[in-house]
Amino acid sequence: MNKELEHKFVTELENNQNIVHKVCTLYTNNRDAHKDLFQEITIQLWKAYPKFRGESKFSTWMYRVALNTAITLYRKSKRKIQTQDYESVIFKIKADEYDATQEEQLKLMYKAVKQLGDIDKALVFLYLEDKDYREISETLGISEVNARVKMNRIKKKLRTILNP
Amino acid sequence: MMDELELLKKDWQSKEEHLPKLSYHDIYQMLWKKSSSIVKWILIISILEFTLPHLLYLFPGVSKSFETYEKLGVKDISTAIWIISYLISFYFIYQFYNRYKEISTLDNAKKLMEKIIRTRKTVKHYVIYSLSMLFVTCIIIMIGIYLSDNLLDAFPSANDGEQKIAPEEFKNILLWTMGVFSILMVAFMGGIYFLLYGLLLKKLNRNYKELKRLEV
């Protein structure tokens, strides 16, 4: 692979790295694992990059590869010692930004989302990223109707977690 | 709930600027790191599974057993079996390679999982086939031992000791050893195989089932 391709890829990934960080935040529980998953996603993106024809946006393409890596390809690396769960920046709520009830509610919501299974998480993630049901269904390989049904079930599940 | 999820969405999207930021250099370094994806592990384990049994023949003890087979009168059968088994192995490798090449992270999640499962199935069939072959080979040798009249000639070392073993007794010992050995070997290899893939594909199978459940 030539230098030009490398440069183009790294620049695009650098500009869109938030997507990967958000996937890592959802699917891992500590800093080392976050870094580990980020690395694996980068490798998978790079491997698939020559096949990226620019038919879709770089970011759209990234969602698919990143989620596929997190759900299917990634194996938790054994070499690191499990450090205590870290609360990544995305789950931290700044007290001054919200009133106390809302803050508490959001905290509980994030916690509940973290407890979901891999597939449910992917659905919630795409939903939070403002993707429509067509894109959600295409990314996961289920029908649009089923994506909606599943999302409704997840909402119910979240509700039970929030109000036991 | 709808409102709560909308609230979460708003909050989620407002957090972007607080996410970690990696530099160009950091990302560039990552391109050259080794992948530890399950697909890579399946490839490594499969290569080992395809090559290890064949490497066994390089051991002097195993190649010597050819002479033993000859004396047992099963040489022609075992040579034929070996040639066929090589052909079958190559067929499996070819099929494995094709399926492995089809795995792409650009597919949707379900399709990707299906392709990985299909690739692994090729290996699974190969392992089942190899274990059956191992078992059949052991049985052929056992038949050879059973039918052989000059068993002690086939195993000259058995006659080296001071005490001579009665041919009948020797035949019985050999038959029992072979029988126990073949069962243990097949059970052991099968156990390792299922444990290995069971652990490796636990997550994939769970998620695949979850996606499949949606379709019914």
Long-range Cβ contacts of A80-87 (<8 Å, 24+ apart):
A80/A30, A80/A32, A80/A33, A80/A36, A82/A30, A83/A30, A83/A31, A83/A32, A84/A30, A85/A29, A85/A30, A86/A29, A86/A30, A86/A31
Rounded to two decimals, what is the model's pTM? 0.80
Do A88 and A101 lie in a common domain? no
**Band of pLDDT at residue A127, cut at 50, 70 and 90:** very high
Higher-confidence residue of B136 and A9: namely A9
**Band of pLDDT at residue B102, cut at 50, 70 and 90:** very high
Interface check for A21 against chain B (CB to CB < 8 A): the answer is yes
Which residue's entry shows tokens 């659905």? A123
Question: Which residue from A44, A75, A140 is facing B108, i.e. has the nearest CB?
Answer: A140
Do A109 and A36 lie in a common domain? no
pLDDT in tens, A90-118: 666 554 555 667 778 888 888 889 888 99
- Residue A87's pLDDT is 57
**Band of pLDDT at residue B5, cut at 50, 70 and 90:** confident
Do A86 and A118 lie in a common domain? no
**Domain presence at residue B16:** no
- Residue B160's pLDDT is 60
Do A87 and A104 lie in a common domain? no
Which structural domain range is residue A86 located in?
1-92
Is residue A47 within 8 A of residue A102, CB to CB? The reply is no
- Torsion sign across C-alpha atoms A91, A92, A98, A101: positive
Which structural domain range is residue B168 located in?
33-215
Contact across the interface for A159 and B116, Cβ inside 8 Å = no
CATH of the domain at A123: 1.10.10.10
**Domain presence at residue B171:** yes
Mean pLDDT of B31-39: 88
Domain-terminating residue out of A58, A92, A126: A92
B-proximal residues of A, 111-140, CB under 8 Å: 113, 117-119, 122, 127-130, 138-140
**Domain presence at residue B27:** no
Least confident of A115-124, B150-159, B177-186: B150-159
Do A128 and A87 lie in a common domain? no
Mean pLDDT of B167-190: 85
**Band of pLDDT at residue B65, cut at 50, 70 and 90:** low
- Residue A43's pLDDT is 95
Do A76 and A99 lie in a common domain? no
**Domain presence at residue B13:** no
DSSP-derived 3-state class of residue B165: coil
**Domain presence at residue B119:** yes
Is residue B7 within 8 A of residue A106, CB to CB? The reply is yes
Domain-terminating residue out of A74, A92, A110: A92
**Domain presence at residue B177:** yes
Paired tokens of B41 = 């592990």
Is residue A158 within 8 A of residue B3, CB to CB? The reply is no
pLDDT at B19 over 90: no
Mean pLDDT of A12-18: 93
Paired tokens of A3 = 């230098």
Measured CA to CA, the distance from residue B42 to residue B204 in angstroms comes to: 13
pLDDT at B178 over 70: yes
Mean pLDDT of A137-157: 91
What value does the mean pLDDT of chain B take? 81
Paired tokens of B67 = 């002479």
What DSSP letter does each residue of B19-55 carry, written as one string?
S----HHHHHHHTTSPP--HHHHHHHHHHHHHHHHHH
Do A112 and A164 lie in a common domain? yes
Domain count, chain A: 2
- Residue A128's pLDDT is 93
> What percentage of chain B has pLDDT greater than the value 70?
80
pLDDT at A142 over 50: yes
Closest-CA distance, B54 to chain A, in angstroms, reads 30
- Residue A79's pLDDT is 47
- Residue A100's pLDDT is 66
- Residue A14's pLDDT is 94
Higher-confidence residue of A116 and B79: namely A116
Which residue's entry shows tokens 């059956």? B132
Residues of A in contact with B23 (CB under 8 A): 14
Do A85 and A70 lie in a common domain? yes
Paired tokens of B45 = 């384990």
**Band of pLDDT at residue B144, cut at 50, 70 and 90:** confident
Contact across the interface for B18 and A127, Cβ inside 8 Å = no
- Cβ contacts below 8 Å, chain A against chain B, sum to 165
**Band of pLDDT at residue A20, cut at 50, 70 and 90:** very high
Interface check for A67 against chain B (CB to CB < 8 A): the answer is yes
**Domain presence at residue B130:** yes
Do A85 and A105 lie in a common domain? no
Contact across the interface for A6 and B31, Cβ inside 8 Å = yes
Residues of A in contact with B41 (CB under 8 A): 75
- Residue B118's pLDDT is 92
CATH of the domain at A11: 1.10.1740.10
Domain count, chain B: 1
pLDDT in tens, B112-135: 999 999 998 988 888 888 888 878
- Residue A42's pLDDT is 95
Contact across the interface for A72 and B113, Cβ inside 8 Å = yes
Q: Which of B36, B111, B116 to mutate to test the interface with A (most CBs of A within 10 A)?
A: B36
Do A85 and A103 lie in a common domain? no
Measured CA to CA, the distance from residue B199 to residue B120 in angstroms comes to: 13
pLDDT in tens, A33-91: 899 999 999 999 999 998 887 777 888 889 999 999 999 998 875 544 444 455 555 66
Question: Residue A70: which of A26, A129, A16 has the closest Cα?
Answer: A26
